[in-house]
A and B are shown apart, each in its own frame.
Chain A
């Protein structure tokens, strides 16, 4: 940076600039503090679209959202499944940023799977259990509800991987498979990761199976707080400055503050991940990349991704630091090109659902795909 020569005139100008900026920062901080004081927890509501529980197995439930528009003729019901490193409420964070509302307004019959709150009593639940018992039972319930006809599955993140496995094991249950930010090839392309991309892949590859098992055995499950710390570390300065600089930049704007707090509420609600399944997720999927090697099996049956024969739409985020593009795009290697569609969303992992832009690109793209391939 070039150094301006200090003269009385430019000294005074610089002083005024600095003081002006410091004053602005101070005023913004005060405004933000006042706004935070004026908002109570009850003002911060997420997942408000009305729904009713229609199916339950152990702690896992399926809820059906109440329709908001005339049904889209011929469209199968859609089951949305998130993973257990976050909560499915992200798809309905607020009214104007709700994938669920967008689908309902298009006349689609939307159901969502909730994994509940696993406790230490659920620590022996495996990935096989999650796929072949819980997810399968929920899908089969919905197939029955749809008069025995296959349904449309929308899997997100870990939920997308589990849905992909079930679609390969039981293709008859699915009319279509939509995925978002879903890891398939867990190694990806580490040589070409951009700065900050693929830390989870690197960190987990650096540990041995015994070390990962040991880390989880101590707690029984993978505690939600531990997942939270891990995710915070992926964006270090953003995590450290969001409650000071971040809030200051909101300038006390009520809508912006509420958006921020809704996101915080979602982040704070991170369930524990059943221990046995977490160990498999880290060891079999991340460390050993068994899914794309065809080495992962459920109840003795190998998961062969090329058995998926329904139309597939794969939505990924171009700036996703958690699930690198090179980890999700390889799904196209297993699906017939005529049946495979993808959308590269210009944003980050969570932005796929919560950003304003995503409502058009992602929700709109999904609805178009349903109309084109599922009806």
Chain B
């Protein structure tokens, strides 16, 4: 169950993601730098295929093994293989609940209430819906930030290419990246898209946390435990009494003068 700082955690998480993106960009820059100084390495699969072809050619000079690789069997295998490996790619996983789930939850949450029956599932459905809202708001906020990082990298790439890195000034390249990214993030943070996403995330997180607190209080009441609402009510009463007492003391002092 998410805790009271869900919204903040989500914001922190996105900032962390931002930082990860920053480091990814640094890594990418370092790789570009590496490419600028070194010949492009072959990926292990291409390298393996080439080695195998060389091996076959060495033993059977008249036979072209690449023809076998182009066969339909192989191409079907590649397709199947790609589909299989895609299952392991987190970017292809569904990050949001399907719309059907939302409509089911809505129908549960809005079902008519009968006086002598309890409906714990209504509260649960409400909470579930708010969890989905929170997921969607998190994704929307993440999308805005991800796009900002992509724009930052695109802008940076226009000014700094692999060829530029051939001058060898990595410090200048890094400083330019920090400046470019900062400007892009600042621009993003004043955009209507960012503000809408930020507002949505804060609201979704607040609503979810409130719902969770309400459900926790329902259990607390059943178990004869004091609830947050009761303590807050008492606190408010004490606060009002203190304020009233101060005012009376002040009036009394003024009357005595």
Q: Do A and B bind each other?
A: yes
Chain A residues packing against B (C-beta within 8 Å): 1, 3-4, 6, 11, 13-18, 21-22, 25, 120-121, 123-125, 129, 133, 195-196, 199, 202-203, 206-207, 211, 214-215, 217-220, 223, 225-226, 229, 232-233, 236-241, 245
Q: How far is the CA of A123 from the CA of B234 in the complex (A)?
A: 12
- Residue of B168, B181, B189, B235 near A120 (CB, 8 A) is B235
Question: For window 205-257 of chain B, which residues contact chain A by CB distance below 8 Å?
Answer: 206-207, 209-210, 213, 231-232, 235-236, 239-240, 243, 246
Assess the B169–A233 pair: CB atoms within 8 A: no
Given contacts A120-B232, A123-B235, A202-B190, contact A218 B206 (CB under 8 A): yes
A-B contact count (CB 8 A): 121
Given contacts A124-B236, A214-B207, A240-B19, contact A202 B167 (CB under 8 A): no
Query: Which 10 A-B residue pairings sit nearest by Cβ, starting from the closest?
Result: A14-B168, A17-B168, A237-B182, A18-B168, A236-B185, A124-B239, A3-B163, A196-B186, A206-B195, A218-B206
Given contacts A215-B206, A229-B12, contact A123 B22 (CB under 8 A): no
Assess the A17–B209 pair: CB atoms within 8 A: no
Q: Interface size (B, Cβ < 8 Å)? A: 54
Q: How far is the CA of A245 from the CA of B15 in the complex (A)?
A: 17
Least CB distance, A270 to chain B, in whole angstroms? 13
In the assembled complex, which residues on chain B have CB atoms less than 8 Å from the CB atom of A217?
206, 210
Chain B residues packing against A (C-beta within 8 Å): 4-5, 7-8, 11-12, 15, 18-19, 22, 33, 37, 159-161, 163-171, 174, 178-179, 181-183, 185-187, 189-190, 195-196, 198-199, 202-203, 206-207, 209-210, 213, 231-232, 235-236, 239-240, 243, 246
In the assembled complex, which residues on chain B have CB atoms less than 8 Å from the CB atom of A225?
5, 8
Assess the B235–A21 pair: CB atoms within 8 A: no
Q: How far is the CA of A219 from the CA of B205 in the complex (A)?
A: 12
Q: How far is the CA of A55 from the CA of B174 in the complex (A)?
A: 52
Least CB distance, B130 to chain A, in whole angstroms? 12
Interface of chain A, main secondary structure: helix
Q: How far is the CA of A16 from the CA of B170 in the complex (A)?
A: 11
In the assembled complex, which residues on chain B have CB atoms less than 8 Å from the CB atom of A232?
15
Given contacts A196-B186, A199-B190, A218-B4, contact A21 B171 (CB under 8 A): yes
